[in-house]
C-alpha cells in the first residue's frame, strides 16, 4: 500500500501495508518475487485501521522521501524516474488516469493540465488523490510546524486526501512550498467504478461522514452549499448520501470510528 524512497535504487525500501481483513499467507519477498535490490517490509493491521493513522505512522519513519500507492495503482516509468531523480521539491504529484481520463490533480472540477515536469504558479487550490503523492521530509517538517500530523485524524477513509490539501493550502499562505507535477500513474477510483445497480452501504456512509466533517473542520461557503445540496438530495431519494447521518455527524463533529 505504501512505499518509501531514500534516493538511489539501493536505498529504496518498499513497505507493504496489509489493512485486512485477513493476514497474508506469504512472506514479503514472495509478494514481489521479481524485485531485486529493494528491501521489503510488511505491516499487517487486519482490523482495518483508518487510512489517516496508517499514513501518519508511515510518514513518521526515517526516510527522505515518502511515496503512497494504493494497491490498485499502476506506476508508469516516467513517474518512477521522477521519484528517484535529484529534482528539488517538497511535494511531487503525478497525473492519475482512470478509464482514460485524468482524475487528479484538479483545480476545482477541472483537471490541472501538465505537459511535462513542471511547477504551476496558479495551483494554490489544487487537490489530488493520495495515491502517487511523493512527500519529502522537508514538507513533513513544514506541516509539523502547524499541525501535529500531516493527515487529519478526524477523517478515517473518505476525505483523507482532500483535507491534506486543505492543510497544505494554509501552510503555503505562510511559507514557501515547492510542488512539482511530473509523470503518470493508472488508478482505479472506487467512486467512479461502482458496478451498475450496486448500492454500497459502506461508501454511502463514508461519503456522508466526509461531507459533514469537511464542513465542520474546514468550513467554507462552498462546503456549506455542498452539504445542503447533498442533504436535500438525500431527502428526495438520492442514494449516494444519508441526510440524517450527515446531520448527526455535523452535530457530533466526529466519525464513529473515533
* Per-residue pLDDT in tens (0 to 9) along the chain, 258 residues: 444 444 444 478 889 999 988 888 777 666 676 666 778 888 999 888 999 999 999 999 999 999 999 988 899 999 999 998 888 999 999 999 988 899 999 998 899 988 778 787 778 899 999 999 999 999 999 999 999 999 999 999 999 999 999 999 999 999 999 999 999 999 876 544 444 344 578 889 999 999 999 999 999 999 999 999 999 999 998 888 999 999 999 999 999 998
Q: Are 188 and 179 in contact (CB under 8 A)?
A: no
Q: Are 10 and 217 in contact (CB under 8 A)?
A: no
Question: Alpha-carbon distance 73 to 118, whole Å?
Answer: 22
Q: Are 96 and 132 in contact (CB under 8 A)?
A: yes
Question: Alpha-carbon distance 79 to 92, whole Å?
Answer: 9
pLDDT at 140: 97
Q: Which residues contact 145 (CB under 8 A, 6 or more apart)?
A: 175
Backbone angles phi, psi at 28, to 5 degrees: -50, -40
Q: Are 17 and 23 in contact (CB under 8 A)?
A: no
Helix (H, G, I), strand (E, B) or coil at 40: strand
N-term to C-term CA, the chain? 23
* Chain mean position to CA 18: 16
Question: Alpha-carbon distance 246 to 205, whole Å?
Answer: 9
Q: Are 215 and 224 in contact (CB under 8 A)?
A: yes
Report pTM.
0.89
pLDDT at 34: 65
pLDDT at 6: 42
Helix (H, G, I), strand (E, B) or coil at 216: helix
The DSSP secondary structure of 187-201, one letter per residue, reads E--TTT-PPTT---H
Question: Alpha-carbon distance 93 to 102, whole Å?
Answer: 13
pLDDT at 31: 67
Q: Which of 222, 120, 217, 103 is nearest to 170 (CA)?
A: 217
Q: Are 181 and 114 in contact (CB under 8 A)?
A: yes
Amino acid at each position: 500500500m505504501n512505499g518509501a524512497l531514500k534516493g538511489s535504487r539501493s536505498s529504496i525500501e518498499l513497505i507493504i501495508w496489509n489493512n485486512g481483513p485477513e493476514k497474508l499467507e506469504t512472506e514479503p519477498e514472495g509478494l514481489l518475487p521479481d524485485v531485486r535490490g529493494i528491501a521489503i517490509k510488511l505491516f499487517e493491521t487486519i482490523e482495518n485501521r483508518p487510512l489517516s493513522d496508517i499514513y501518519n505512522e508511515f510518514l513518521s519513519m526515517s526516510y527522505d522521501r515518502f511515496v503512497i500507492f494504493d494497491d490498485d495503482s499502476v506506476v508508469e516509468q516516467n513517474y518512477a524516474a521522477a521519484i528517484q531523480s535529484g529534482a528539488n521539491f517538497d511535494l511531487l504529484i503525478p497525473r492519475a488516469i482512470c478509464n482514460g481520463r485524468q482524475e487528479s490533480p484538479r483545480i476545482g472540477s477541472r483537471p490541472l493540465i501538465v505537459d511535462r515536469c513542471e511547477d504551476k504558479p496558479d495551483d494554490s487550490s489544487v487537490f489530488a488523490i493520495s495515491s502517487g503523492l511523493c512527500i519529502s521530509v522537508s514538507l513533513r517538517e513544514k506541516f509539523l510546524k502547524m499541525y501535529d500530523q500531516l493527515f487529519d485524524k478526524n477523517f478515517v477513509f473518505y476525505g483523507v486526501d482532500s483535507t491534506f490539501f486543505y492543510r497544505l493550502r494554509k501552510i503555503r499562505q505562510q511559507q514557501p512550498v515547492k510542488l512539482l507535477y511530473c509523470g503518470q500513474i493508472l488508478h482505479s477510483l472506487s467512486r467512479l467504478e461502482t458496478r451498475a445497480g450496486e448500492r454500497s452501504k459502506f461508501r454511502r456512509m463514508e461519503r456522508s461522514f466526509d461531507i459533514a466533517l469537511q464542513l465542520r473542520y474546514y468550513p467554507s461557503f462552498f462546503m456549506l452549499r455542498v452539504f445542503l445540496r447533498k442533504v436535500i438530495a438525500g431527502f428526495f431519494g438520492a442514494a449516494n448520501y444519508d441526510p440524517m447521518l450527515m446531520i448527526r455527524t455535523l452535530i457530533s463533529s466526529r466519525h464513529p470510528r473515533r
